[in-house]
Structure 1
């Protein structure tokens, strides 16, 4: 890919563009998006922009790992964060709902992944509906992990599918309605439990949000701690500013005011705190 010449613009100023020429570090991603009001997941949002640059700065490795690290993203949308991690050498499982996958995610991954430089990881796209409980997930299927009514015995043998254990879980711009809170954190808890069950250390979760509805965000954070047993820590704003600056982004304060990145880790207990959850 060509050297990035111009820093990325904030997402709200590019919603009208059907194809984004999106610079990330020394790369340029070509990302299709739709702003047709049918779903939030087919357009670029600020959280993904900030999270991808923060991870590029925070996850720099001091030494090559013994194996290629593996990440899963919930609500991948147009694929920016998943492609960013992949370009950094991670194997990435990008997940979303089928309509988002068919509208933008798969085509963006196909368009960009083959152009990544040597040393990049692999990236796969599969559907995961958070309303489907973990005991109905299918890791050997090349199309979906969890879909309502999905046949649990169906398998796809054409590809070796990515699955647990995961070293990292990420999500951005996915806390925007009260009915999403419980399914999201249930899914996060299950992914951590599955990864730890393979004898690996529990993976951290990085969640990027826009605080449009402060009461909703406060409720979600409280539930993550009280109901699901997460330890929650906000990434200091100055660290995010530093990461954006390193990525060549110098937005005005009002361009991304309200964006926060939170880091969640699982406490020693692997079960939800509340027996009613």
Structure 2
């Protein structure tokens, strides 16, 4: 099985060799029905190749390395891809996904990352927990509904806000998670903007399959109407060029329905650079 086949053709593989640039990751995955986050999905594949082509436009000078936070890191493809591109990444998910696939995938693949790669910090982030109860100073837990964080070692340096981008892929599949996901994106954007020297919130990259149009439309409506996020779809032609470059054997049917959206917290009428948001 080719390392760059579409995700729906590789879910049966317990370990997936995955080529990204000049690097081959070996990604463990599960398809046992317990969680959607333990296998590779198309959105993650398309987001990874878009970032390979466009990540430089999201860099700022706030940190020595650009900094990203991912919500719902799953098997770790986006986090590993960004790291290989020179980004520091906070990869987050719930305990089951972290323990079953994510932690091991990050650990075993770090030795194949190229020189100059960024660091990856793995932390639990349960969107169902109110942001008022999050722990940004803890090395393992940002938000947990089951564990109380142990005392913090203040000598540990964490990848704290501000972030240059927030990423999430394949995370629209349950109506009960729409509001918690948006609340989490809003909270991190607000905190990141407050920590930024220029008070600019990070861009949010959301890559999804439109499997449930009503669910996607609800998310997009709530994003703008309730959470004050600007909303722009990355042009299909731009995403298609990245997909065709990295997966030349794919047909349009192989990734039909994938959409990449760019969101950003509106903090003032001039806080959103509309001129660059869709290019």
TM-score (structure 1 length as normaliser)? 0.90
Aligned equivalent of 2:24, options 21, 28, 40: 28
Matches within 5 A, 1:144-223: 144-148=141-145, 150-151=147-148, 154-157=151-154, 159-200=156-197, 201-223=200-222
1:273 corresponds in structure 2 to: none
How many positions carry a matched residue from both structures?
Answer: 265
Matches within 5 A, 1:12-161: 12-60=8-56, 65=61, 67-148=64-145, 150-151=147-148, 154-157=151-154, 159-161=156-158
Q: Name structure 2 gaps, 5 residues minimum.
A: 270-279
Secondary structure at the residue paired with 2:207?
strand
Post-superposition shift, 1:38? 0.8
* 8 A contact 1:8–1:249 mirrored in 2: no
Post-superposition shift, 1:153? 6.6
Residues 99 and 120 (structure 1), Cα distance of their counterparts in 2 relative to 1, 3 Å cut = same
Q: Name structure 1 gaps, 5 residues minimum.
A: 1-5, 271-277
* 8 A contact 2:58–2:164 mirrored in 1: no
Secondary structure at the residue paired with 1:191?
helix
- Which deviations, in whole Å up to 9, do the C-alpha atoms of 1:43-100 show, x marking residues without a partner? 0000000001001111136999562111000000000001000000000000000000
- Which deviations, in whole Å up to 9, do the C-alpha atoms of 1:5-56 show, x marking residues without a partner? x660000000100001000111111100001111100000000000010011
TM-score (structure 2 length as normaliser)? 0.90
Secondary structure at the residue paired with 2:112?
coil
**d(CA) in 2 for partners of 1:63, 1:216:** 31
**d(CA) in 1 for partners of 2:34, 2:146:** 23
Which of 149-158 and 24-33 deviates more?
A: 149-158
**d(CA) in 2 for partners of 1:175, 1:15:** 19
1:275 corresponds in structure 2 to: none
2:225 corresponds in structure 1 to: 226
Root-mean-square deviation (CA), in Å? Answer: 2.0
Residues 145 and 83 (structure 1), Cα distance of their counterparts in 2 relative to 1, 3 Å cut = same
